[in-house]
Amino acid sequence: MRDIILKGDKNGFSVIMDDKANYVNAFKKLKELIMQQNVESTNENDDVIYFTVKTGHRLLTEDQKDGIRDFFDKYPQLELKDIQADVEDKVKVAEVLKANKTNIESGIVRSGQKLDYEGDLIFLGTLHRDAQICTTGSIYVLGEVNGVLQAGYPDNTKAAIFGNLKGIDQLRIADVIEIVTDDNRDDFQAGKFAFIDDLHSISVDDLTNYKDRLNDLGKRTG
């Protein structure tokens, strides 16, 4: 396979870089192709020609990407739309896995303590008054809670808190806080879940309605 292949369609050109090729040689040939296209598009009234660079299973470094962008910037009639690879960066994959991780905690969280988690949390332990649990995802309570639960930290409005929360002092989801008092404590009991509603406040509903609520949450962009 050649180091560089140029394919065109109605949306512009795709520059396909052989992921087994020497990068220096491939970049050199890429520049030759781009300069040739610039020669063919010297009239300032010509439409801008769009390019997408595809690197297959090769992940370019940020310096290599910057080198390609800087080269395209020299030619106003040619515009780089994107640099695409068929594989994900290991750091990005690790971040996705961390965000979707499910933790299990079965210990005692005593007054004054705070536990922080990445992802969802299944809580089987005991949360004392004035203690706090904070996670970026949702919380599933199967133990006893009397302190503060924070789900969706800092801005995940799709998170929810499930379980018997009758003894809880305070619920937080993303940036919304709900103080639980004697007046509303009966709302927070087994078979319920708390979520952020369309008015950006915390509401409580029966678990039997969770599927419908889940569809509503899935439509949110934030």
How many CB atoms within 10 Å of residue 187? 15
Backbone angles phi, psi at 24, to 5 degrees: -60, -45
> How many Å apart are CA 31 and CA 41, to the nearest integer?
15
How many CB atoms within 10 Å of residue 209? 11
Task: Give the rounded distance of the alpha carbon of 159 from its chain centre.
Answer: 13
| Domains of the chain and any CATH numbers | 4-87 (no CATH), 93-218 (2.160.20.70)
DSSP character for 3? Answer: S
- Of 155, 181, 157, nearest in space to 170 by CA: 181
| pTM for this model (two decimals) | 0.57
Six-digit token string for 108: 């005692």
Ordered per-residue pLDDT tens for the chain, 222 residues? 578 888 887 778 888 988 888 888 888 888 888 888 776 665 555 678 889 999 988 888 889 999 999 999 988 888 999 998 877 666 665 666 666 788 999 999 999 999 999 999 999 999 999 999 999 999 999 999 999 999 999 999 999 999 888 889 999 999 999 998 888 888 887 788 999 998 999 999 988 888 777 776 666 554
